[in-house]
Chains A and B, each alone.
Chain A
Amino acid sequence: MHPLPFSLQLLNACAALLLLLSFAMLSQRRTVNLVNLLAVQGSLLVIATLIVAWRTGQPHLYVSALLTLALKVFALPMLLHRLIRRLNVWWDTEPVINPSGTMLIGLLVVVFSFGLAQPISAVADTAIRSTLGIAIAVILLSFLAMITRRKAMSQVVAFLSMENGLFFGAMSATYGMPMVVELGVALDVLVAMLVLGVFFFQIREQFDSLDLYHLESLKERD
């Protein structure tokens, strides 16, 4: 085995922890803990971005790390915590599939995404291209988390973690997106969060619950 430079080892460890966090989110039943895990995921992203910025010497990555820190570690979790308090949704209901089953499906998803990433990382020329598979896995696992949840709140958290995965993927494939795109996405996420917050209140108003299965009653019956 060839020894990697320490910064790359640290980056790989961050990537592995991100993957582990995705599984933790997949199995977590308490919405509050889910939000905390999202904040931890955000801080790991900040660390990873800082390492990449230091390695490549690209100043815009420092800005993007700062943006991630402000938005994903502080602003969004705080917003979500406030929403949880005001909507009083501390727990998710039993997920659609039992946790062990979800985990096993998650493992298959990871194998699939590692296979998917192989040809892409072969073409990419960044030093951290091997973490691309983990980024794709994080995206797909968040997707799985969205599918297996019933409450709107948990789905939104999973959606945000998907965005984190995309961010990590962009970083490992091309050392981050252009600054304009990044700013746009950050703003989009923030606005989406605010709009969704309003939606939560509307959904609860209508159905007295945040369980999205109630939305099916909007279908026309015949």
Chain B
Amino acid sequence: MTPLAATTQLLEIVGAALAAPAFLGWVNQCRAWLQNRRAPSLMQPYRGLRKLLNKDAILATNASPLFRAAPYVVFATMLVAAAIIPSMGTGLPMSTAADGIALVGLLATARVFLSLAAMDVGTAFGTLGARREMMVGFLAEPALLMVLFVAAMLSRTTSLPLIAETLAGQAPALYPSLAFTAVAFLLVMLAENARLPIDNPATHLELTMIHEAMILEYSARHLALMEWAAALKLFNYACIGFALFVPWGAGNEASGPIGLLLAVPLLAIKLAIAGAALALLEILSAKLRVFRAPEFLATAFLLAVLGLLVHLLLET
């Protein structure tokens, strides 16, 4: 492992953990501006986390050890996921341990623990949220896998850093397959991160909520970890999107320390644009009925499969 690779790896993990709440704050800020409200500060998520970390945790009397362990598991899974996604550099030592398919597995692990913890205490809301989350998850996962398969077929590898490197190095051309999968990925990202057409991230105590229903029973440091993990998940999804569809600018061995130094502000710019676009998308869409969610995700799956088929027919 070269010093540069180690630095990149460390920077990615620490950077993701620190930048994720700011990214969430930026999305919220853009949403507020678009709604003609006064925007909360970019630091608001950090203040929320600090407030929660200073409080005493309260647990339900019948909470099992699983309920206590879940926040740590979910948060750790998201950190590991951040470590193998090439957001700033492609020379990642840890990425040899897990490829794109394992990444989907990691995200699924987090989902399983989150859902189990939600059902653990036995409240109606938690169970309801967990069931909905599993429904969304089992429809979104195949679509996400298909998206990864298209990128993997284009670059002939399933390792995310190699995919990003191959796609960035390719001659510029129109790829209808990548365009289709990009839309599919966007739909999956909205559904998986409990964003607007599927779930409303701004409300509590609504019969339609999914993510918020699952973490209702958590307080203090557990809640802080869960919210931090949710922010990290959004950050991770954005970075997967960059790696697959706008892979230019990530540092690698060839570009050396300067490449890495340039990659950091470039990632910030990409995130700023993506966050604003996400906010705009959320402003423009209304929440779907839960029963329409399968249709939404079937569309994502359809687009991803169409991308695969179009790639096989037109681009080989």
Chain A interface (Cβ < 8 Å from any Cβ of B) = 1, 3-4, 6, 9-10, 12-13, 15-17, 19-20, 23, 27, 99-100, 103-104, 106-107, 110-111, 114, 130-131, 133-134
Closest residue of chain A to B310 (Cβ to Cβ) is A16
B298 touches A103 (CB 8 A): yes
B185 at the interface (CB under 8 A from A): no
Measured between beta carbons, the chain A residues less than 8 angstroms from B302 are 23, 103-104, 106-107
Within 280-314 of B, Cβ neighbours of A (below 8 Å) are at: 294-295, 298-299, 302-303, 305-306, 309-310, 312-314
B258 at the interface (CB under 8 A from A): no
B294 touches A23 (CB 8 A): no
Taken residue by residue from 162 to 177, chain B's Cβ proximity to chain A (1 for < 8 Å, 0 otherwise) reads as 0000000011011011
List 15 extra interface pairs beyond A1-B315, A107-B309, CB under 8 A.
A1-B170, A3-B173, A6-B174, A9-B174, A12-B314, A16-B176, A16-B314, A23-B302, A99-B298, A106-B302, A107-B305, A110-B309, A114-B309, A130-B313, A134-B310
Measured between beta carbons, the chain B residues less than 8 angstroms from A130 are 313-314
B180 at the interface (CB under 8 A from A): yes
Measured between beta carbons, the chain B residues less than 8 angstroms from A10 are 174
Chain B interface (Cβ < 8 Å from any Cβ of A) = 154, 170-171, 173-174, 176-177, 179-180, 294-295, 298-299, 302-303, 305-306, 309-310, 312-316
A13 touches B174 (CB 8 A): yes
A133 touches B313 (CB 8 A): yes
Measured between beta carbons, the chain A residues less than 8 angstroms from B180 are 16, 20
Measured between beta carbons, the chain A residues less than 8 angstroms from B313 are 114, 130, 133-134
Enumerate 11 A-B pairs (CB-CB under 8 Å) in ascending A order: A1-B316, A6-B174, A9-B173, A12-B176, A13-B174, A16-B176, A16-B180, A16-B310, A100-B298, A110-B306, A134-B310
Measured between beta carbons, the chain A residues less than 8 angstroms from B171 are 3
Closest residue of chain B to A110 (Cβ to Cβ) is B309
